[in-house]
Amino acid sequence: MTAATTDRALVVGEALIDEVARPDGTRERHPGGSPANVALGLGRLGRSVDLLTWLGEDADGDLVREHLGRSNVNVLTGDRWAVRTPVATANLDAQGVASYSFDLEWDLPSSWDESGGGPLVVHTGSIATVLQPGGAAVERLIARSQPTSSITYDPNLRPMLMGSPADVLPVVDALVRLSDVVKVSDEDLAWLLPGVAPAEIAEQWSRSGPSLVVVTHGPDGAFASTSAGARLHVPGLRVDVVDTVGAGDSFMGGLIDGLWSVGLLGAASRQALADASPAVIQTVLERCVRIAAITVSRAGANPPLARELI
């Protein structure tokens, strides 16, 4: 028998200040971080969500907490905190595509204020899973959570911080095996496993643990492989792109929310997720594509509210 769960999501990973440098020389600063953006998207879609992260007790940390709180994200309070709140700089090219540089440290508190049963779903990804000393703590937390919660994972790789593909691949493989749902971009896969077709990797991963592996292809939509053998493609939506910041994170939040809505999250629903029909998964993915399209149509990591999808 599994322990009781609460109807909440726990997102584990970095929250930071994004500094956006635009081609015209202007610079903007606002809260970001891939897992934090996923939590933000879930909060805006009406989900109860906790974020376990590593912030400083400083003005930037206060800015992050206030920003997330406005979208109903509960930032958990731990027994330790960062010396200073991390900063990432997104340099946008003429097409609005971002490349990143970082000034950060990453760890997890050894205890935090979460109470009650385990969350329905635990999500992690990106820098938090690789950068030490916190990366090892994240993997242990995910392994502990697996018996009671669905596990979702987005590698969201940052080569400038993570070393070589050979360094990162064992971490990714371990978390893929622990996960029920994996979302990954084609760009991540091209760096991690060059020369291997994204669809081939998705199929391999969906036979190693996850029930669902989704590969996003930017404006060309997404491909999905299920452990039951289904192969799906959802086309992209054509929109005027302002920038791509947070697009993959909003897709990931939409994926968690969509599977939640159809009752496919939680350890008790693990078999139901594995048995889900292609039609159900297709519908969920079509909504994810729409969420990502809205996000890229406006500046920054600004995912839609639930009412914008009606």
> Tokens 């792109």, residue?
241
The mean per-residue pLDDT over the stretch 97-108 comes to: 83
Q: What's 257's domain CATH number? A: 3.40.1190.20
Encoding tokens for residue 74?
A: 């509960």
Judge whether 2 lies within some domain.
no
Judge whether 115 lies within some domain.
yes
pLDDT of 143-167, one tens digit each?
Answer: 999 999 999 999 999 998 899 999 9
Judge whether 4 lies within some domain.
no
pLDDT for res 112 = 85
Grouping H, G, I as helix, E, B as strand and the rest as coil, residue 175 is helix
Closest CA to 50 of 118, 128, 137, 148: 118
Encoding tokens for residue 243?
A: 């920038």
Q: Which residue range is the domain that position 37 belongs to?
A: 10-305
Mean pLDDT check: name the lowest of 5-19, 38-52, 210-224: 5-19
Cis peptide before 109 (omega within 30 of 0): no
Judge whether 112 lies within some domain.
yes
pLDDT for res 116 = 61
Judge whether 18 lies within some domain.
yes
Q: Which residue has the higher pLDDT, 1 or 132?
A: 132
Q: Are 33 and 86 in contact (CB under 8 A)?
A: yes
**Adjacency order of strands within the sheet including 212-216:** 73-75, 49-52, 5-12, 118-125, 150-154, 181-185, 212-216, 222-226, 231-234
Judge whether 3 lies within some domain.
no
pLDDT for res 310 = 87
CA 48 to chain centre: 16
Q: Please tell me what DSSP assigns to residue 208.
A: S
Residue 99's DSSP bridge partners are 91
CA distance 81 to 232: 42
Judge whether 22 lies within some domain.
yes
Judge whether 220 lies within some domain.
yes
**pLDDT over 70 (residue 2):** no
Domains identified in the chain, total number: 1
**pLDDT over 90 (residue 55):** yes
**pLDDT over 70 (residue 114):** no
pTM here?
0.93
pLDDT of 202-260, one tens digit each?
Answer: 999 999 999 999 999 999 999 999 999 999 999 999 999 998 889 999 999 999 999 99
CA distance 97 to 135: 27
**Adjacency order of strands within the sheet including 87-92:** 27-32, 16-21, 87-92, 98-103
